[in-house]
Structure 1
Amino acid sequence: MKTLITLIIVFILSISNLSSQENQQEILIVGTMHTVPKIVKNSYKPMLRFAKKYKPEAIYVESPMANDSISWEYLKKGWSKGYQKFYKLSDSLQKTFNYNNVKFNATIGKNFSSMSDDDLDYLIKSFIYKRDNGNYELYTYLKKYGVNGSKNPTRHEDGDLTYKLALAMNHKRVINMDDQQTNKEYHLAWNKCSKESAKNGNNTANSKLYKKSYNSAILPAVFRKLGKHTNKRKSLQQLHDMASFSYVIKDTEGCKEGRKYFDERNMRMAKNIAKQILVSKKTKNIIIVGAAHVIGLEKEFKKNYPHLKVILMNEY
């Protein structure tokens, strides 16, 4: 009798564990090359096929969050001319645009193919008003290229991967998750580290690592496997090491500062993503992000959000 009871308990627990695993929220991280050269303009096609097969329920993009006032305070006069222009448009429309939430929800509820130019114009203005750059870019892309996206490669992750994926999956919104609160400080630290490293071997070590990373990508790029190569753990680690100054032979004040700001940015990006995933309850989430951030994000998720299953593109 005891044996029977034990078997029943084990069976119930196994069913419970299986159900828990099936409902576990997961994060698939895809590292991108941002803009690729013309000679390898089709590099994102295999990555798009892979992402479509995954069938994500949510797409997270490397774009500033609308409510991140600290990042926007920097970006309004920061490194990106595109973000500067977007901020000015947003600042202006927040004073003049007659936003209507009922109209917005009714318009965005339509099928992509049913949206008129007037609908798209309203949604574009609404996302500018909301300071939602990721979706402003998505609907601008939709208006320019239509529901199938650009016929010719744009050579950028947004036009060739992110927005084509969103349109194919019928996702009315992509989800912003970037953090650029200390981007200015990071670039200042980068310059400082470079100057400090002129004679201690650090710059030479960085150049060697860059050449090694570049040379190893040539052959895969020729055979349209640049995306797969970029997402190899070895490649991701090299990119992480360069961006986080982990290559240094002798640490300096500037290199330490740069590493600190890079790690903190990854930490805040992971937090932005995890908070939104937990609220959404969605199971299959894809993160499309610059490849140099993949290792850092994976580390942050595993450390601070162990209940989320983290998968890298090449390990799916």
Structure 2
Amino acid sequence: MKTQITFITVLFLSIFVLSSQNKPQEIIIIGTMHTVPKIVKNSYKPMLKFAKKYKPEAIYVESPMANDSISWEYLKNGWSNGYKTFYKLSDSLQKSFNFNEAKFNTTIHKHFKDMNDADLEYLINSFIYKRDNGNYEYYSYIKKYGIKGAQKPTRHEDGDLTYKLALSMNQKRVINIDDQQTNKEYHTAWDKCNKEGVKNGNNAANVKLNKKSYNSAIIPAIFRGLGTHTNKRKSLQQLHDMASFSYVVQDTEGCKEGRKYFDERNMRIAKNISNEVIKSKKQRNIVIIGAAHVIGLEKEFKENYPNFKVILMNDY
């Protein structure tokens, strides 16, 4: 009898393990509004509640990858003052900071509650040295607000969603997956498309779509539902159409170029995510990214990475 019970137990355990191994890795995509106005400062609270309930094993963020030298070559003199400042800090510390891998590993493996200011400062400098902007921002946030996070809304996805989620999941790092290698070309094409659209109806179509998107968000925003509304497929499609110039009534050279660069950026971001998910072998993954990218990323995953189970926030 004992032999039969043992056999049955082993059989069920084997089936359970095999089933877990064959289960596809999940990627949940949350589209964000980046910074929100003061009047809707609590918009990220429902999104944080959703993300905590999902309990991700890994959190992917819209920040440049440390080893993406092409993006950083642009960003060091690019559109973002924050990235320009960070690059200068990194460039300086790479020449002067006494980075020690063993010390870094020992420090980052401490419990958050056991990290003192000196530990946090060392980790912050280490991430600057490594040119890891996402985790530099994460540990700077911890040093400023503590391990419970900011009490008042920061009105930004990082402070109100990403970092609070990471702290609640006791995750020591977020994973950078952004790509800005052709952002200069994208913005140039945007200006070109805008100039071309003055007389052919394109700009009027863009204004109409933008107004429609804005008006549809007013009532949800009043009732703290802006995040859910933004992640509706219709809203995501509108944002995608505006960012990819798919709204145009007459395609022009500038609009085609802009669409090309936008699609290629989404393609590279999807590749970055896929590489990291495969490498990590984590089952439950969350991508937190600007809402205009969600439809493009979903398309890339369906076409090129069908082994993942990709779910949009509102479809979960």
2: distance between equivalents of 1:105 and 1:16?
Answer: 34
The one-letter code matched in structure 2 to 1:166 is: A
CA-CA distance at 1:242 after TM superposition: 0.2
Aligned to 2:205: 205
Q: Are residue 225 (structure 1) and residue 225 (structure 2) matched?
A: yes
The aligned residue for residue 302 of structure 1 is 302
Alpha-carbon separation, structure 1, partners of 2:226 and 2:19: 37
- Cα distance in structure 1, aligned partners of 2:31 and 2:199: 33
Instruction: Show the 5 A alignment for 1:165-180.
Output: 165-180=165-180
Task: Tell me which residue corresponds to 1:3.
Answer: none
Change (3 A) 1:17 1:124: closer
Give a deviation string over 1:165-195, Cα, whole Å, max 9, x none: 0001000000000000000000000000000
- Please name the residue that 2:102 is paired with: 102
Structure 1 CA distance for aligned equivalents of residues 120 and 114 of structure 2: 10
Q: What SS does the corresponding residue of 2:28 show, helix, strand or coil?
A: strand
Q: In the aligned structure 2, how far is the partner of 1:22 from the partner of 1:48?
A: 29
**Separation in 2 of the partners of 1:115 and 1:26?**
32
Query: 1:295 corresponds to which letter in structure 2?
Result: I
2:87 corresponds to = 87
Give percent identity, aligned residues only. 78
How much has 1:24 moved relative to structure 2? 1.4
Give the Cα separation in 2 of the matches to 1:54 and 1:62: 20
Aligned-partner Cα distance in 2 for 1:23–1:105: 32
For residue 228 of structure 1, report the CA deviation from its aligned partner: 0.2
Unaligned runs of 5+ in 1: 1-11
- Structure 2: which amino acid aligns with 1:296? G
Normalised to the residue count of structure 1, the TM-score between the two structures is 0.94
Matched position secondary structure for 1:288:
strand
Shift of 1:19: 1.2
Q: Tell me the CA shift for residue 90 of structure 1.
A: 0.1
1:46-100: CA deviation from partner (whole Å, max 9, x where unpaired): 0000000000000000000000000000000000000000000000000000000
Structure 2 equivalent of residue 61 of structure 1: 61
SS of the aligned residue for 1:151 comes to coil
After TM superposition, give the deviation of residue 157 of structure 1 in Å: 0.1
SS of equivalent residue, structure 2 residue 29:
strand
Residue in 2 aligned with 1:40? Answer: 40
Distance (Å, rounded) in 1 between the aligned partners of 2:213 and 2:21:
37
Alignment CA distance shift 1:16-1:113 (3 Å): closer
The alignment status of 1:289 with 2:299, answered yes or no, reads no
- Matching of residues 267-278 of structure 1 within 5 Å: 267-278=267-278
Counterpart residue number, 2:151: 151
Amino acid at match of 2:39: I
Give, as a single letter, the amino acid of the residue that structure 1 aligns with 2:286. Answer: I
* In 1: Cα distance, 2:167 partner to 2:114 partner: 13
Query: Displacement, 1:20?
Result: 5.7
Matches within 5 A, 1:125-140: 125-140=125-140
Give the match for residue 312 of structure 1. Answer: 312
Deviations 1:189-239 (A, max 9, x none): 000000001000000000000000000000000000000000000000000
Could you say which residue in structure 2 is the equivalent of 1:250? 250
Does the alignment pair 1:52 with 2:52? yes
**SS across alignment from 2:59:** strand
Mapped partners of 1:204, 1:216: distance in 2: 18
Q: Name the structure 2 match of 1:280.
A: 280
Matched length: 303
Once the two structures are TM-superposed, the CA of residue 287 in structure 1 deviates from its matched residue by 0.1
**1:28, 1:167 → 2: CA distance?**
18
C-alpha RMSD over aligned residues: 1.4
Tell me which amino acid in the other structure corresponds to 1:300: E
Q: After TM superposition, list the pairs within 5 Å mapping 1:12-31 onto structure 2.
A: 19=19, 23-31=23-31
Structure 2 distance, partners of 1:233, 1:24, is 23
Letter of the 1:108 partner, please give it. I
Q: Aligned letter for 2:271?
A: K
Deviation at 1:23, TM superposition (A): 2.8
Cα shift at 1:16: 8.9
